[in-house]
Amino acid sequence: MRRISVLLLFLLFIASTASGDVYKYIDENGVICYTDKPFGKKTQAEVVYKEKKAPVVNQRPEKSRGIKTDYSHYVQKAALKYEIEPELIHAVIRTESNGNYRAVSKKGAMGLMQLMPSTANDMNVGNPFNPEENINGGTRYLRFLLEKFDGNVTLAVAAYNSGPTTVERYGNIPPIAETKQYVNRVFTLYNGKRSYAVSDSAVDYQDRPAQIYKVVLEDGTILFTNSALERKGKLRF
């Protein structure tokens, strides 16, 4: 059974936006469940996220959504580890999130390098909103894509946006407007080499996405689980 840390990532995001606690259950069949409110069951719940009450302060609206924190140290560390130019990593960060470590896309991509939950899980990223973990995971994924596409930076960048399967299908940058714009944006920011040497020891990564299920119960409780449940309102991510 695949690790279910990705479930917790979803719930941490929900808890942070919906302002609530998160509870973990393991039912009689061994199915792991996360909810936003305790069940009225004998099974004891474990609180895995506790809402923090933030103090009320006077805040001015942000004038700019640009990069406000220097993540160069984390970028340099990941660049050395995975043998990728730091300029490429910075370009992806700027294109993906513009330096906002709390960014979440409509599709659920998270953090500085906008990791999808399944990718974060496979890259061993426990908290995608932690800048160091996110940069390490995103750079590791970039290295995997470079190995997969024989060091071709253009195809690797395109695959970072549209997925490796889509790039393989077309054998080039997919004819998708979003992906074309994405690649152009990255290369506008990045002024480096167009190909990387590949090795026989490609980064271990599974294309197979994690299977996650969301259930909204009759009382409005939100439930995430790693097992398909025969309940109304089931959605598969």
Question: Annotated active-site positions, please?
Answer: 96
For the chain, helix, strand, coil in percent to 5 are 40, 10, 50
For 88, 189, 198, the CA distances from 145, given in Å and listed in that order, are 13, 19, 10
| Cα–Cα distance for residue pair 137/150, rounded to 1 Å | 20
Task: Return the closest-CA partner of residue 38 out of 49, 30, 46, 28.
Answer: 46
For 23, 116, 165, 176, the CA distances from 126, given in Å and listed in that order, are 18, 13, 25, 31
Any bridge partners for residue 223, and if so which? Answer: 35, 215
Query: What is the identity of the amino acid at 52?
Result: K
Query: What is the identity of the amino acid at 169?
Result: R
